[in-house]
Structure 1
Amino acid sequence: MLRRLALTAVASFAALSAATPAANAATGPLPLPLPLPLSVLHGDESDTRLTVSVLGTGDPAAEGVFELECGPAGGNHPAAQQACDRLEELASEGADPFAPVPGDAMCTQQSGGPATARVTGTWQGRHVDTSFDRANGCGISRWNGLRPVLPNVR
């Protein structure tokens, strides 16, 4: 909703800026719009609702489907507050924890086990639908970088 408000404000400003110069000369320049908070433009913690599905960890407590909501932390995720804190930390660093491994990445050929996870929903107001595995060094690193959203797997 906040994103829609921001877009409406930007569109309104653009429409008003396109007014003819004669109209501006008669009434004077238009006032500048108030700056929008960054959370409106980039989303914030309260725009985070994720479903985390985990399989193949070998730990029954770590497997299943977990709901995670942030701002305030909630859902049935076993470490909701810590997971929300980690996601907020990554956002403040400008990192995208849900970005796939680049196709040209050189990954060590080590296996981290059969664990897989899928994360869907919304993070910082942005749609998320991505999968994780531990099939090589890049996958292991990507998984470990998102702990405790994803469980600790050895």
Structure 2
Amino acid sequence: MLRRLVLTTATAALALSAAPAAGALPVLSGLPPLPLLSSTPDRLTVTVSKSADPAANGTFELECGAAGASGNHPAAEDACARLGQLDRAGGDPFAAPADGRMCTMQHGGPAVARITGTWQGRSVDARFSRTDGCEIARWQNLEPVLPSVRR
């Protein structure tokens, strides 16, 4: 017991003597560097096919940055606003669906989409469909980046 008390006291004294002086910043090593804020705009190519709405089909360019929205995307401003909301919420709206998920057996139509490009400095190559409840929800989460498709 006495030995443990002596060792604990000695360890604490050693730690305090090695502490930086008041006002000095400690050096942290072994931590990953902080990500740099990118001023590069997000650039996405959205390709939609097999939609019942002919205007929704096609390939659309979308650029979102400090200067605002641009490209031939039919709802560029709203799409960039939605991507901003998703960024603030965290997570990755382009992530592949989880394996083994439970989804309702419903069909939202034959529409399919592919989104490629860069978002938040990360490469994007995502596919979307409306084949079950999970896929429909995933699609709707990205509206108006993806068109609002109703059967």
TM-score range, shorter chain: 0.7 to 0.9
Query: Within the alignment, does 1:57 sit opposite 2:51 as a pair?
Result: yes
Please list every run of at least 4 consecutive aligned residues from structure 1 whose deviation after the TM superposition is greater than 4 angstroms.
29-32
* Alignment match of 1:102 (pick from 93, 98, 105): 98
Render the CA deviation track for 1:45-85: whole Å, top value 9, x for unaligned.
x4310000000111111110000000120000000010000
TM-score by length of 2: 0.73
Deviation at 1:40, TM superposition (A): 2.2
Alignment partners' CA distance in 2, 1:39 and 1:70: 20
Deviation at 1:30, TM superposition (A): 9.6
Alignment partners' CA distance in 2, 1:30 and 1:138: 48
1:39/1:147 Cα in 2 relative to 1: closer, same or farther (>3 Å)? farther
Give the equivalent residue in structure 2 for 1:69.
63
Aligned residue runs from structure 1 range 1-154, under 5 A: 40-41=36-37, 43=38, 46-71=40-65, 72-154=68-150
Kindly indicate which of the two structures has a greater share of residues assigned to helix: 1
1:79/1:106 Cα in 2 relative to 1: closer, same or farther (>3 Å)? same
Alignment partners' CA distance in 1, 2:60 and 2:48: 8
Larger Rg: 2
SS of match in other structure, 1:106:
coil
TM-score by length of 1: 0.72
Alignment partners' CA distance in 1, 2:133 and 2:25: 56
SS of match in other structure, 2:85:
helix
Alignment partners' CA distance in 1, 2:112 and 2:81: 22
SS of match in other structure, 1:111:
coil
Give the alignment's Cα RMSD to 1 decimal. 2.1
Alignment partners' CA distance in 2, 1:65 and 1:122: 16
Which runs of 5 or more structure 1 residues have no equivalent in the other structure?
1-28, 33-37
Aligned length, in residue pairs: 119
